[in-house]
Amino acid sequence: MNKIFFPALLFILSSCQQAKQIGSIQRIDPALDSIISPGAEVQIIADGFRWTEGPLWIDDKKMLLFSDVFSNKVYKWTEEKGAEDYLSPSGYTGAIKREAELGSNGLLLDREGKLVLCQHGNRQVARMDADLGNPKPVYKSLASAYQTKKLNSPNDAVFHTNGDLFFTDPPYGLEKNMDDPLKEIPFQGVYKTKPTGEVILLCDSITRPNGIAFFPGEKMLLVANSDPAKPFWYHFNVENDSLTNGRIFYNASSAISEGKGLPDGLKIDKKGNVFATGPGGVFIFNNAGKLLGKIKLPVASANCAFSADQTILFITATNYVLRLKMR
């Protein structure tokens, strides 16, 4: 997402402080009770950032990594110490001063446990060439161009178990977005890159592709569209190097007036339930696209991540990092 600034001083909510509550759970279908226990509350665990994105839980280190896109940094959060600097610069390493969403956005781990970042400013998906325990801003590009043309600004990504990397490429990291003179590709694509480095275009018709995730089994893919004119989540079948049978999974047009935000980052649990940031908070669907409930928030939400056992949901939302202990 883009264009929301909260230049507050960063402060840390550590485990010795009582976490503040925010928002509420809207229960639309009784099935939500088996996903989020009655009485569960959303807590603020860190605050004071500019635009938080790309949360990633690292279970063996008991830490949450997340991007602050406008600050060009990755932070880490732990129960013991709260939020701390982790990696800078995270998304733009160039010498020319630019004013845009230059930092990293989506974060994920590859099969070797290396950190992979969607880098807006560098306009690539890259792997950090350093250990998670000793982070350094040294990057190896995994995808930076399609047919010799520079990508827009990769936003979010997901690995297939065969090593293929699927990612979205909206224009948010370009200073003038669609009208930026540096934009080389006339569309906003959904791509995949193979371990060999080949970049394959999968879809060029989504106006602002953003969040992306596989359903269990990896035969179906969900892609969010952060376009107020088409606030949809799209559902595709995955067939080799193609996406087929594209259709609307859910249309959020009626919710645009209900709160801040647009379809953005999302995660899908092992049962196929979808947690998707959107207008007014986080939408929760079953695998058939039935809306079970919402995590209602007063600020725009950008992305979310599960703990290893999927009992905790972390949410990045404007200047906040949030935690929901679901069960």
**Inside any domain, residue 327:** no
Task: Name the residue among 65, 63, 77 with its Cα closest to residue 118.
Answer: 65
Rounded to whole angstroms, the Cα distance separating 90 from 203 reads: 27
Q: Write the pLDDT tens digit of every residue in 247-298.
A: 999 999 999 999 999 999 999 999 999 999 999 999 999 999 999 999 999 9
**Inside any domain, residue 191:** yes
Instruction: Compute, in degrees rounded to 10, the torsion defined by CA atoms 193, 250, 26, 265.
Output: 20
**Inside any domain, residue 16:** no
195: domain CATH number is 2.120.10.30
pTM confidence score = 0.94
Local confidence band at 8 (pLDDT 50, 70, 90 cut-offs): very low
**Inside any domain, residue 83:** yes
**Inside any domain, residue 267:** no
Tokens read off for 174: 């370009």
**Inside any domain, residue 298:** no
**Inside any domain, residue 36:** no
Q: Which domain does 145 fall in, by range?
A: 54-205
Q: Write the pLDDT tens digit of every residue in 309-319.
A: 999 999 999 99
Looking at residue 310, what is its pLDDT? Answer: 98
Rounded to whole angstroms, the Cα distance separating 23 from 20 reads: 10
**Inside any domain, residue 163:** yes
Rounded to whole angstroms, the Cα distance separating 317 from 327 reads: 21
Q: Write the pLDDT tens digit of every residue in 12-32.
A: 444 334 679 999 999 999 999
Q: How many domains does the chain have?
A: 1
